[in-house]
Amino acid sequence: MVSRSLTRQGVALAVLSAAELVVVAAIGGAYGTDGTASTLGALALAPVAVMATAAFARRVAGERFAIAAAVAYVVLPLLATRFMLSTYRSTFEHQALPDLVGLRAAPWFALGVLLTAALAVAPRRAAGVSGAVAAAAALILWGTADLGSIRNGLHETAWSITLLEWFIVAGFIGAARRNGWLAVALVGWLLAIILHAAHVGYDNAAFWQSLAAGATLAAVLLTSLALLVPPLRRPRPAQSAGHAG
């Protein structure tokens, strides 16, 4: 039974990896890349990003959650595009979407994939501490002053600022219900990436381009919203090995 379950999970991840290759190729064909080397690098990283997302998500909440997070990562470009107002959507697609899958600024995207893979294998407490330190360091380096201009940019280009803020808080709560240390790692690193992106600015989609390092983590956070829902079936209590007297 276990081997059959592992086989199904492996097949699911293989299919999602293939789907991500199609997504990356389609984005590259439609919106451009940084060249042949960048395109080949993005295609090579596509299945790695899917696997890293699933591996970290598995530590948070198990196998089904891992597959759901991998699905969320594959569809994230579509979700991000739909989140933009129609007047800004073309700008986002042409200037930011290739970055978010590694077709441009590939090293920055690769760094995010490597970070997610590291969090998937690091001791839970160490992962959580690293996220807290990253967020604290980002606050010291860049502070929150730049967030005001980002809010103004989002107000003009995206459907809802409040939704994004709720997404971070609710995703953290959902992940923390399963594992507090990994929830701190997830949100701590994402906050550090967001503060860096805010410091870069919003003009010419620079903010969204800089979020490429957090694409895999964002998929896990998005999927963590499902963890806010109580399970439909409670686990059965363990049966005792024997009876007294």
Question: What would the pLDDT profile of 144-177 be if each residue is shown by its tens digit?
Answer: 888 889 999 999 999 888 888 899 999 999 999 9
User: Of 15 and 229, which is predicted with more confidence?
Assistant: 15
Question: What would the pLDDT profile of 182-214 be if each residue is shown by its tens digit?
Answer: 999 999 999 999 999 999 999 999 999 999 999
Mean pLDDT of the region 17-27: 97
User: pLDDT tier at 245 (50, 70, 90 boundaries)?
Assistant: very low
Q: Using alpha carbons only, how large is the chain's radius of gyration in Å? A: 19
pLDDT greater than 90 at residue 98: yes
pLDDT of residue 241: 43
For residue 84, give the DSSP letter.
B
pLDDT greater than 80 at residue 1: no
pLDDT greater than 80 at residue 2: no
Question: What would the pLDDT profile of 61-81 be if each residue is shown by its tens digit?
Answer: 999 999 999 999 999 999 999
CA distances to 230, 231, 238 from 235, in Å: 12, 9, 9
Q: Above pLDDT 90, what percent of the chain? A: 82
Closest CA to 37 of 108, 96, 107, 139: 107
pLDDT of residue 162: 86
- Residue 164 CB: number of other CB atoms within 10 A? 15
The Cα–Cα gap between 98 and 245 comes to: 69
Helix, coil or strand: residue 158: strand
Residue 84, strand partner residues: 158
User: pLDDT tier at 239 (50, 70, 90 boundaries)?
Assistant: very low
| 103 phi, psi to nearest 5 deg | -75, -20
pLDDT greater than 90 at residue 8: no
In 92-181, where do the E strands start and end?
A: none
The Cα–Cα gap between 207 and 211 comes to: 7
pLDDT greater than 90 at residue 233: no
Q: How many CA atoms lie within 13 A of 186 on its CB side?
A: 32
User: Of 192 and 9, which is predicted with more confidence?
Assistant: 192
The Cα–Cα gap between 186 and 73 comes to: 15
pLDDT of residue 232: 58
pLDDT of residue 238: 44
